[in-house]
Structure 1
Amino acid sequence: MIRHIAMLTLRADTADAAIDRLVSELRALPDLIDEIATYEVGVDLRLVAGNSTVAIVADFDDADAWTVYRNHPAHVRVLDEIIAPLLDTRTAIQFER
């Protein structure tokens, strides 16, 4: 099992409506990409300054399934059209569970 964690820090001027749209688009991906075993998206509660804005935690059966997700047109569209215009920084990791 491969776990993928991505943490997105969005630009400071990102509107809440844009964050809501981003989260909605991300949460739709499991219905479009069969290789996703589990998928969670959360928005930071803003309890501590300096945290990332959005986190994604996803599980895949193996590295091949993660690669399908990474390259899937629905995922690439969200990356290019929704995330990229809002993104300040991104951190990610994939590890075996």
Structure 2
Amino acid sequence: MITHIVLFKLKDRSPESIATTVQVLRDMEGKIDELRHLEVGTDVLHSERSYDIGLITKFDSLEALQAYNVHPVHKKVIEHMTSVREASVSVDYES
């Protein structure tokens, strides 16, 4: 199994902007066959080093993760994230 984690810091950190982006991420659920697990959470500490949103996804293999990366639904999410994010970091590991 491959776990893919992404943290997002948004340009607009208002509750409305965060809620909209969380929904965009959650809307991938059930629409991408390779996506085995999807979890989206928002930061509760709001510290200086905090990111606003965390995304955890799981895939059966690296090939499945690569298929997800080019899937049309995910590409639409990337478009949204590119327009709203200030920064992001990610990690992918075998689990």
TM-score after normalising by structure 1: 0.89
8 Å contact from structure 2 (residues 13, 52) kept in 1? no
1:49 correspondence with 2:55: no
Deviation string, structure 1 residues 2-58 (Cα, Å, up to 9, x no partner) = 0000001111x3432221111111111121101111110011113423201111011
Counterpart of 1:95 in structure 2 is 93
Alpha-carbon RMSD across the aligned residues, in angstroms, is 1.2
The share of aligned pairs that are identical, in percent, is 27
Work out whether residues 44 and 52 of structure 1, in 8 Å CA contact, stay in contact via their aligned partners in 2: yes
Cα pair 1:7 1:52 within 8 Å, conserved: yes
Q: Distance in 1 between matches of 2:49 and 2:29?
A: 29
Q: Residues 75-86 of structure 1 correspond to what in structure 2 (within 5 A)?
A: 75-80=74-79, 82-86=80-84
For structure 2, list consecutive stretches of 5 or more residues without a partner in the other structure. none
Q: Which segments of 5 or more consecutive residues in structure 1 lack a partner in the other structure?
A: none
Normalised by the length of structure 2, the TM-score is 0.91
**CA distance 1:47–1:19, shift in 2 (3 Å):** closer
Q: Matched residue of 2:28: which SS?
A: helix
The answer on whether the counterparts of 2:34 and 2:67 sit within 8 Å (CA) in structure 1 is: yes
Secondary structure of the corresponding residue to residue 64 of structure 2 = helix
